[in-house]
Amino acid sequence: MKSRIEQVMKKFADKCDYLEVHFEETEESCIGFNGPRLSDLGRRVDFGGNVRALHRGGWGFASFNSVDRLEEFAQYAVDQARTVGKEVSRLAETEPVVADVPVKLRSDPRNVSLEKKVEILRAYNKRALGFGDGVTSTVVTYFDRFHKFWFGSSEGSLVYQERVDIGGRVSPVAARDGDTQSYNVGFGGSDDFGVVKGLEAEIDEACAVALGKLDAPKIKGGEYTVILDPRLAGVFVHEAFGHLSEGDNVYEDENLQKVMKLGRRFGGSFLNVYDTGLDRGLRGHLVYDDEGVATEKTYLIREGELVGRLHSRETAGKMGEKPTGNARCLDYRFPPIPRMRNTCIAQGEATFDEMIAGIDYGVYCISASGGQTNGEMFTFTAANARMIRDGKLAEQVRDVTLTGNVFTTLENIDLIANDLAAHDGGGGCGKAGQFPLPVTHGSPHVRIRNVVIGGE
């Protein structure tokens, strides 16, 4: 593949300001159960590439499976960039990288037979279905992917990388009288098939939670003091702040740049938020991003003040900031754009007991069913919740969807605990049609005042 990249560079590099070529080969196995049925069992080979050209600020992009027609697509990308470009190309400078990055695995999913994988998932599925009357169905998913990437640029970068992504979930579904409730046990990682193992206790707990939700009352809508557990707080920081920190939201918008100016205060001096690609084993781990930029740990908020954002070379270049290694693409069908890796609220000093003691009437929100943002406002949904009354955990409630505003909600965080934990589920992040990208999030327990929760 490398020689094909070099050939394209030789022929086309001097016809535009910047040129890059990606190839990607992925092998995937996936398994799924819906109730007792093995609903999904497949193998997938995906092989393709793209050429991306930049000329006078305009991009031409061509992705393809017909790799034998590479030169034709390169010509297209270059021609289109020349059609689009009317200004100046500005990419933040980085050192060209020549590297081979084979993956180092603790346990390689490719060394485990498909039969064995099916057996493990089938046992989980049986366990959930056999939990008791009420757990009437399940959704179980599993995938493992082995990616090989080749990347080369007209600046002399030539990188071969391997990446592994493993993930999935076991969701017991409880149904009664037309009502359906479920709870997820998600798992994931980037270097260890072992993440699939040993989920029995979590599955039992998930069955109990799903059954409990059938009897639990819906929460009453209104404003509450809430404690988020580390899993939900991770989703919260991803939605509430991570997305707004992505350089492509800001770099062309002067009005937004005014409010997202470095140094702006977003929270108390005990609030620190970062995004990192350095944590080996997590799904958000990266060595080089999809522009060949080395990954790093990037602080977004330090002691309550905005100190950084997540950049591609283009957004960094246009804003006069440093690239951070956040340019990522879902696969070769898409150009890389600024995306998160592992986004965390940093360790605090409070304890859970201190947090709850100060709440007369509030909600303890546990684990996440997901979240979404449109920039300023965001929502995220607790997969389970319990009321807090007089400083103590009280009855289970359900349908807890929280909403907030990035410019006020972070300020309303008044306590951060000392129990930071990062968690990988089997899902992913979606943006600009690129879903699901493997990301991780983490946080300690967090207490927030005045959060609106929907409900009747």
Quote the least distance from Cβ 212 to other proteins, whole Å: 14
Quote the least distance from Cβ 83 to other proteins, whole Å: 6
Pick 100 or 253: Cβ nearer other proteins: 253
Distance CA 188, CA 428 (A): 10
Contact 371, 403 (CB under 8 A): no
Quote the least distance from Cβ 39 to other proteins, whole Å: 8
Task: Of 181, 142, 213, give the one whose Cα is nearest residue 425.
Answer: 142
Neighbours of 326 (CB within 10 A): 31
Quote the least distance from Cβ 409 to other proteins, whole Å: 10
Quote the least distance from Cβ 340 to other proteins, whole Å: 18
Pick 42 or 156: Cβ nearer other proteins: 42
Measured CA to CA in angstroms, residue 427 lies from 11, 227, 283, 284, 439 at distances of 41, 24, 10, 12, 8
Pick 3 or 255: Cβ nearer other proteins: 255
Quote the least distance from Cβ 319 to other proteins, whole Å: 13
Pick 156 or 375: Cβ nearer other proteins: 375
Pick 71 or 419: Cβ nearer other proteins: 71
Pick 285 or 313: Cβ nearer other proteins: 313
Pick 345 or 453: Cβ nearer other proteins: 453
Quote the least distance from Cβ 236 to other proteins, whole Å: 12
